[in-house]
C-alpha cells in the first residue's frame, strides 16, 4: 500500500480525491500498488463529507508520519506550500503538485532535494491542466534539441477570448463565466495579465532547454487591452486573437514572451478554443508536434496530479525527473526579435503611415469609419518601436502577428 496525503481540499484537492475514488481499480493496477488517501489537510471543516474521516488541520501529523510516502500539494501560492513541500521532500516523501507559482519560483531547489533523496518532485498539472506535456518533455522528446515552444497555456483567457469572439460577450461577463466554471485563479489578475501563462512557459522552457528560465525575465502582456473592435478586425483578416506564451532558440540565443497575438487559420493553434490549452513544440529532428487538451478545471487538473502520484508510486525510491538544472537561461533582448505588427490608427493618412513604415497592408471596416488598421512588413521589434513613436498620437492599439 502507498499512503498519500493531500494538502488542500479546494477545487483541485477535492478533484484528486474524486479521481482516486472513481478510478481506484485502474489506478491501483497501473501503480501496481493500492493508493490510499491517509490524510487530507485543510483548515476548514467539511461536515457530512466522507473526507472528514481523514481530515487533519496540523501539517506536522503528515510530515512526521513515516507511513506517508507521497504528499500531494494542491493548495496553490508560495506559502505555506513551499515550506510544506520542502519539509516533505527533506523527510523523504515524494511530492506531486499542481502549483505553477511554486515550481516556477523554487523548482530547481526542490528538484535538487528530490534528486539527493532519490525521490520525486513532479508537477505535470502545473502546465496545461490535463495535457501530459511535462512528461513528454522529460521522457519522450529526449532525442531532440527543442528550438520552439508556443502554447495557449491559460484556459481562462482562452475561454474569455473565445466567448468575446463567438458570443459577443464583454470582457467582464466572459471573466465571470470562466470564474464560475472554476478555471480562473483565486485572483484572476494572474490570468488576465498573463502572469499565469508566464510561469507556465518558464517551467516548460526550463525543461525543454535544460536551464532555469526565471519567469521574472519574461516580457509579459495580458489581454486586458483587447477590445471587441480588435476582434472584429481579426475576423475581417481571417485571423483570431490568442494569448500566446512562447520561447524560441535562435542560434545560441533564446527569447521568451507572453502576449496576445493575431494568428491565421494555417496555424494549428487557430482552432484551440474555449478552455482548451495546447503546446506546439518544434524539435530539430522531430519537426512539429502539438499537444492539446483540457487546460484547466477540477477534474482535468486532478487527472494530471493523480498521474504523477501513480508515477511516484511506481518509482518510490528512484528519481526520474532529469533535464532541469539551476544554471540560468539568459534571454536576448526582445528588441532584436523580428515580427510583423498590426496597428489601428485614427486621424492620420495612409501616406503618413507609409512615410514611416514603408508599404503596409491596410484593413478598413465600414463599422469604424473614423479609423483604419495596417500590418507592417517583417521588422525587428526595436525598429518597430522607434517608428511607432512617430505616429504615437494616432495609434489606437497594436497586436503582434504570429507567423
Ligand atoms: N487559471 C488557470 C487557467 C488554471 O485558467 O489556465 C490552470 O492552471
**What residues does ligand 1 touch, defined as CB less than 6 Å away?**
129, 154-156, 183-185, 191, 196, 295-296
Going by alpha carbons, the residue nearest to atom 1 of ligand 1 is 184
pLDDT value at position 331? 97
- In order of 111, 156, 270, 314, the CA distances from 98 in angstroms are 15, 16, 27, 19
Distance of CA 364 from the midpoint of ligand 1 (Å) = 35
pLDDT value at position 325? 82
Distance of CA 183 from the midpoint of ligand 1 (Å) = 5
Asked if 2 and 316 touch (Cβ cutoff 8 Å), the reply is: yes
Distance of CA 155 from the midpoint of ligand 1 (Å) = 5
pLDDT value at position 326? 86
Distance of CA 300 from the midpoint of ligand 1 (Å) = 11
Please determine, for residue 73, whether its predicted confidence score (pLDDT) is greater than 80.
yes
DSSP for 260-309? Answer: EEEEETTSTTTT--TTEEEEEEEETTTEEEEEEEE-SSHHHHHHHHHHHH
Is this structure's pTM higher than 0.95? yes
With b for 16 or more beta-carbon neighbours within 10 A and e for fewer, the 81-99 pattern comes to bbebbbbbbebebbbbbbb
Please determine, for residue 389, whether its predicted confidence score (pLDDT) is greater than 80.
yes
Higher pLDDT pick, 370 / 139 = 370
pLDDT value at position 242? 98
Q: What are the pLDDT digits (tens) for 23-39? A: 999 999 999 999 999 99
Mean pLDDT (whole number) for 85-91? 98
Distance of CA 281 from the midpoint of ligand 1 (Å) = 20
pLDDT value at position 144? 92
CA–CA separation, 213 vs 403, rounded Å?
24
Q: What are the pLDDT digits (tens) for 198-219? A: 999 999 999 999 999 999 999 9
pLDDT value at position 275? 96
pLDDT value at position 256? 98
Phi, psi of 153 (to 5 degrees): -115, 5
Q: Which atom of ligand 1 is nearest to the CA of 100?
A: 8
C-alpha cell at position 259: 502576449
Confidence bin at 306 (pLDDT 50/70/90) = very high
151 closest CA partner among 282, 300, 4: 282
Going by alpha carbons, the residue nearest to atom 7 of ligand 1 is 296
Q: Which atom of ligand 1 is nearest to the CA of 295?
A: 6
Q: Which atom of ligand 1 is nearest to the CA of 156?
A: 5
Q: Which of 127, 185, 189 to mutate to test the pocket of ligand 1 (most atoms within 8 A of CB)?
A: 185
CA–CA separation, 30 vs 142, rounded Å?
24
Please determine, for residue 323, whether its predicted confidence score (pLDDT) is greater than 90.
no
**What percent of the chain is helix, strand and coil (3-state, nearest 5)?**
40, 25, 35
CA–CA separation, 22 vs 299, rounded Å?
11
Q: Which residues are catalytic?
A: 200
Q: Which atom of ligand 1 is nearest to the CA of 296?
A: 7
Confidence bin at 321 (pLDDT 50/70/90) = confident
CB count, 10 Å around CB of 45?
Answer: 10
Asked if 20 and 27 touch (Cβ cutoff 8 Å), the reply is: yes
Q: Which atom of ligand 1 is nearest to the CA of 190?
A: 1
- In order of 8, 93, 114, 119, the CA distances from 321 in angstroms are 24, 15, 9, 9
C-alpha cell at position 76: 496553490
Distance of CA 260 from the midpoint of ligand 1 (Å) = 16
Q: What are the pLDDT digits (tens) for 102-123? A: 999 999 999 999 999 999 999 9
Q: What are the pLDDT digits (tens) for 249-290? A: 999 999 999 999 999 999 999 999 999 999 999 999 999 999
Distance of CA 125 from the midpoint of ligand 1 (Å) = 10
CA–CA separation, 27 vs 51, rounded Å?
19
What percentage of the chain has pLDDT greater than the value 90? 97
Confidence bin at 371 (pLDDT 50/70/90) = very high
Higher pLDDT pick, 299 / 326 = 299
pLDDT value at position 324? 80
Amino acid at each position: 500500500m502507498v499512503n498519500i496525503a493531500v494538502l488542500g481540499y479546494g477545487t483541485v484537492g477535492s478533484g484528486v480525491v474524486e479521481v482516486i475514488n472513481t478510478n481506484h481499480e485502474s489506478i491501483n493496477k497501473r501503480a501496481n500498488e493500492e493508493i490510499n488517501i491517509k490524510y487530507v489537510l485543510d483548515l476548514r471543516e467539511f461536515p457530512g463529507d466522507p473526507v472528514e474521516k481523514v481530515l487533519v488541520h496540523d501539517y506536522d501529523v503528515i510530515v512526521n508520519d513515516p507511513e506517508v510516502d507521497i504528499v500531494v500539494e494542491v493548495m496553490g501560492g508560495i506559502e505555506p506550500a513551499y515550506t510544506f513541500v520542502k519539509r516533505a521532500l527533506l523527510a523523504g516523501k515524494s511530492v506531486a503538485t499542481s502549483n505553477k507559482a511554486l515550481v516556477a519560483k523554487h523548482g530547481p531547489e526542490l528538484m535538487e532535494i528530490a534528486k539527493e533523496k532519490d525521490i520525486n518532485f513532479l508537477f505535470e498539472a502545473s502546465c496545461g491542466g490535463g495535457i501530459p506535456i511535462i512528461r513528454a518533455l522529460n521522457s519522450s522528446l529526449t532525442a531532440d534539441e527543442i528550438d520552439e515552444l508556443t502554447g495557449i497555456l491559460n484556459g481562462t483567457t482562452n475561454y474569455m477570448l473565445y466567448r468575446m469572439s463567438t458570443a459577443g460577450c464583454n470582457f467582464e461577463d466572459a471573466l465571470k463565466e470562466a470564474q464560475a466554471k472554476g478555471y480562473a485563479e483565486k485572483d484572476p489578475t494572474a490570468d488576465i495579465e498573463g502572469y499565469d501563462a508566464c510561469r507556465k512557459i518558464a517551467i516548460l522552457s526550463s525543461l525543454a532547454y535544460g536551464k532555469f528560465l526565471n519567469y521574472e525575465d519574461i516580457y509579459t502582456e495580458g489581454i486586458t487591452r483587447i477590445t471587441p473592435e480588435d476582434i472584429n478586425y481579426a475576423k475581417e483578416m481571417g485571423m483570431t486573437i490568442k494569448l500566446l506564451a512562447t520561447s524560441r532558440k535562435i542560434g545560441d540565443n533564446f527569447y521568451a514572451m507572453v502576449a496576445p497575438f493575431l494568428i491565421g487559420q494555417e496555424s494549428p493553434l487557430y482552432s484551440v478554443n474555449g478552455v482548451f490549452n495546447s503546446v506546439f513544440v518544434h524539435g530539430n529532428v522531430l519537426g512539429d508536434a502539438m499537444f492539446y487538451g483540457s487546460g484547466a478545471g477540477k477534474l482535468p487538473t486532478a487527472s494530471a496530479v493523480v498521474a504523477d502520484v501513480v508515477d511516484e508510486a511506481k518509482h518510490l525510491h528512484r528519481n526520474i525527473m532529469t533535464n532541469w538544472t539551476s544554471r540560468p537561461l539568459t534571454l536576448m533582448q526582445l528588441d532584436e526579435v523580428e515580427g510583423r505588427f498590426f496597428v489601428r490608427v485614427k486621424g492620420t493618412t495612409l501616406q503618413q503611415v507609409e512615410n514611416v513604415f514603408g508599404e503596409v497592408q491596410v484593413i478598413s471596416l465600414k463599422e469604424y469609419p473614423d479609423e483604419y488598421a495596417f500590418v507592417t512588413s517583417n521588422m525587428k521589434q526595436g525598429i518597430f518601436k522607434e517608428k511607432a513613436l512617430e505616429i504615437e498620437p494616432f495609434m489606437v492599439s497594436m497586436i503582434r502577428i504570429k507567423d
